[in-house]
Amino acid sequence: MPRRLRHLLLLPVLVALVYALPALPALRNGAPLAVAGGLPETGEFRLATWIRVLHNRCYSVGYSEWRGLPLWAAYRLRPVARTPGQKRPRFETDSRTLRRIAHGDYSRSGYDRGHLAPSHAIGQLCGREAQVETFLMSNIAPQRPALNQKLWQRLEEVELDHFAKGLGEIQVITGPVFGGGEVLDSGLPVPSAFYKIYYQPGLGSRPARHLAFLVPQKVRGTEDLRDYLVSIDAIEAATGLDFLSELPDAEETALEAGAQAAPDWRLNDVARRAPRY
């Protein structure tokens, strides 16, 4: 039986499971990741945004059984001295999930298996076992090669080597935006865009800092990163998620409305950095 048909037949089971657990919008596994401002909230109960929160050694994901994809990943970055890279791990099905998305669900689709929590940064910060966990399919979403290998790669490099190096520890929340209607042969929906939110809590007299990007799938990969700066409000409108909800209301409102990159991020220095590939 084709995988896409099996996934479609599984949907009624997922619906029954979800409605049997109306008071449990997120089922948690493992040790939670401490995130200032809180993990993303899904707001009103809907199948499209119902998630299980899966915790790993160095990152957490909000995984949608309905879509077979993560809706967000959260991780923290800090300055780190680079060490030589290791052999690339294999993509693996996450045994905690019901959909059991596999490496082959992306084969011959024209889309890359795009990481949300980045393999290189997690490996540098937390070691080999943590890096291997980034290759769980619960951390993967379809990305066009020009996005995954160029612009997204640039953002992942900049966040570790530039943002964290210049500012110290920052937290990152990243994920897909849906709306294009394209579906892989395996039944997985193709996101129309991806977002990244960077946040550093205030300390003493220093105010909190944030930076947010919303990047469409259809990019060449060499565009100026500043072209994709948005407000957190814009990402909330696109995803239906609520970010930084544990902050005081006045602080959350002020942070989420701003789309301009503060000078502290020094985005101008790296906005046109060439892709590695």
Structural domain boundaries, residue 137:
3-226+241-269
pLDDT tens-digit profile, the chain (277 residues)? 555 555 555 555 554 554 444 434 444 455 677 788 889 998 767 777 789 999 999 999 999 999 999 999 999 999 998 777 778 899 999 999 998 999 999 999 999 999 999 999 999 999 999 999 999 999 999 999 999 999 999 999 999 999 999 999 999 999 999 998 899 999 999 999 999 999 999 888 888 899 999 999 999 999 999 999 999 999 999 999 999 998 888 888 888 887 777 788 999 999 999 998 8
Sort 165 into a burial class: Cβ within 10 Å, 0-12 / 13-18 / 19+: middle
SS3 assignment, position 144:
coil
Residue 109 lies in a domain: yes
Residue 274 lies in a domain: no
Give the C-alpha separation, 207 to 227, whole Å. Answer: 25
- Whichever domain contains 138, its CATH number is 3.40.570.10
Quote the tokens at residue 235.
């990402």
* Per-residue pLDDT, 25: 44
SS3 assignment, position 209:
strand
Number of domains in the chain: 1
Q: Which residue has the tokens 């590695």?
A: 276
